[in-house]
Chain A
Amino acid sequence: MNLRRLKAVYFRNLKSIILDPAPGLNLLIGDNGHGKTNLLDAIAVGAQLKPIRPVKHNSDLILFGERESQIDAEFAGTSPFTVSVHLDLEGKKVRLNNKPTRDPFALREKIAQVSFVPEDLAAVMGSAGLRRRLLDQITASLYPNYALYYRQYEKVLLQRNRLLKQPLVDLVELSSFTQVLAQSAHVIEKARVLALLHIKSYYEDGVSRLSDAQLTGQLTYLPSSAGDLKASLEKLKVEERARKTTLLGPHLDDLEFSLNGHPARFSASRGQARVLILALKIAQLRAVFAHRSLSPLLLLDDVVGELDPDNAFRLLQVVDQLQTQTFITTTHLSALPTDWRAGRVFRVQGGAVSSSIKADEAQALEAHTSHQTFFYTADGCL
């Protein structure tokens, strides 16, 4: 499956654009603040109904001053289909093949997506919540039902936490909610373990290839309680009642990144963190392909920004071998290797998208003017 055409009207800063991407690599070039990432968000809304950067309200997706926005996506492949998403202040209406649909899963079965945003990098060294978010994304992309199970888990958790806040806790009632929680947690943890098992070898291979065999990386699932959650919670009964909240469970699990055998949390440089996260995304993509026979869209926002040319080259090589439709935003083509033979280049400027040109032509053009660009770029993006 790949995106053949995307139309977006009044979406963020995009007034009215049409994008006809190549089945392979697509580069979205433009200065900061001109709408490259918004274009990735538009693609993500067309493919998964959600932008790659989470928003609080739908209205955040609509061009300032407008009341509604429309995204139309055409997908080509063995069974082509179209998706239309209409956004207004009240909500979102989705049409699949021109028929209204309310099932959010109808689309997730047809198309998958893997995305990278620079904010993902914080997961390596940041809080466990950020790593859990990545883990949940991976698990949900392998098992579409996971989101439903997780919602159910969160529901039990809310009820149980409220129960623990009561001045007098009925112990039999608490134990009932503990059992429901443990049953629900078991499904979540099993899915996470299986998902990590699916991506393990791809991930280790990815770290090695992206770092030119300089790094070895491992992922370890760290559940908040090893073994029987119900039994462990029973033991914490007194403490839980004192702290008035559930102290163990999938909502507190962690995912450990290790680098050459040491926890990356304390030792990784920014560049190394980038390698680990990108390897994770690529592993996710390969696992979805192997497990669900879906070839996901790959959306990479500002991925080459901080990479040195060798690293950028290796990344593009790996991406190229994935043979999946890819969208990469960057401020300069010269950040990419010179012998790059990519698909299409789109220039994004002031919320408009120029028609595509072949990559090598664009590169020749830019090489010609790159000296000037070098001197005039204030933020030193080169």
Chain B
Amino acid sequence: MSLDPIQHTIEQFAKLPGIGERTALRLVLHLIAQDKNLIGLLSEALVQLEQKVAECELCHMITADGARCSICRSVSRDSKILCVVARVQDLMALEATSEFRGFYHVLHGVLAPMEGIGPQDLRIASLFERLKQSEISEIILATPSTVEGEATALYLAQELQNHLIKVTRIASGVPVGGDLQFADRLTLSRAMALRRGF
């Protein structure tokens, strides 16, 4: 028995985050009625996504450039510093600042027993593999400052204790250029607790 192509496509769209049945229906009807061209373009793009995009073998960032991503292939970066982030989006945000010139490592998540995510589910083993074969002297832990992000940073800090590597944690505090009154309460309290001298 063959599937109803409309219903089938709607169901696939509805699996995407942020898209419900109704939006999925709207998207499918749009494709059929108004933009049949887009169907071909979309299919092609999706096939490319599946075939060409993979995790970088070193940092686990997503890349379409082969086994290693453009950052890991760069020769102008500082190979002594490694920044550990939880998610692809976090790397992108840090990269957008163009300030950090070291390398990255993407964990693809944080420790969360409630969701069944433990150390073996994160890209942690490969991080330690990397340390064996490189000249890294500082690791910056840039996991989020949530409960789970803090626990993940502490986990890594403990595991890194015997590695003779400097381990640092990103600072947290009030947003730059923003009024104090718009900072959320916990951030503000934390900024007060972690204040620094001049």
Any B CB within 8 A of the CB of A341 = no
- Do A159 and B154 touch (CB < 8 A)? no
- Do A180 and B151 touch (CB < 8 A)? yes
Q: Is the interface of B mostly helix, strand, loop or mixed?
A: helix
- Do A175 and B148 touch (CB < 8 A)? no
Any B CB within 8 A of the CB of A163 = yes
Query: Interface stretch among A165-173, A327-335, A364-372?
Result: A165-173
- Do A159 and B119 touch (CB < 8 A)? no
Any B CB within 8 A of the CB of A89 = no
- Do B147 and A156 touch (CB < 8 A)? yes
Residues of A within 8 A of B186 (CB): 145, 148-149, 152
Query: Interface stretch among B8-16, B109-117, B126-134?
Result: B109-117
- Do A152 and B147 touch (CB < 8 A)? yes
Interface size on A, residues (CB 8 A): 23
> Nearest chain B CB to A285's CB is how many angstroms away?
24
Residues of A within 8 A of B152 (CB): 176
> Nearest chain B CB to A169's CB is how many angstroms away?
9
| Residue positions of B touching A, CB distance < 8 A | 111-114, 118-119, 147-148, 150-152, 154-155, 158-159, 185-186, 189
Q: List 16 A-B contacts (CB under 8 A).
A: A148-B186, A152-B147, A156-B151, A162-B114, A166-B118, A172-B158, A172-B159, A173-B111, A175-B158, A176-B111, A176-B151, A176-B152, A177-B113, A180-B151, A180-B154, A184-B147
> Nearest chain B CB to A129's CB is how many angstroms away?
23
Specify the chain A residue showing the minimal Cβ separation from B149. Answer: A180
- Do A173 and B119 touch (CB < 8 A)? yes
Residues of B within 8 A of A197 (CB): none
Q: How far is the CA of A183 from the CA of B152 in the complex (A)?
A: 15
Given A105-B185, A162-B113, the answer on whether A176 and B147 have CB atoms closer than 8 Å is no
Any B CB within 8 A of the CB of A158 = yes
Q: How far is the CA of A170 from the CA of B121 in the complex (A)?
A: 13
Residues of A within 8 A of B148 (CB): 159
Q: How far is the CA of A17 from the CA of B143 in the complex (A)?
A: 53
Given A155-B147, A176-B151, the answer on whether A160 and B113 have CB atoms closer than 8 Å is yes
Any B CB within 8 A of the CB of A211 = no
Specify the chain A residue showing the minimal Cβ separation from B189. Answer: A145
Q: How far is the CA of A166 from the CA of B119 in the complex (A)?
A: 13
Any B CB within 8 A of the CB of A179 = yes
Residues of A within 8 A of B189 (CB): 145
- Do B185 and A180 touch (CB < 8 A)? no
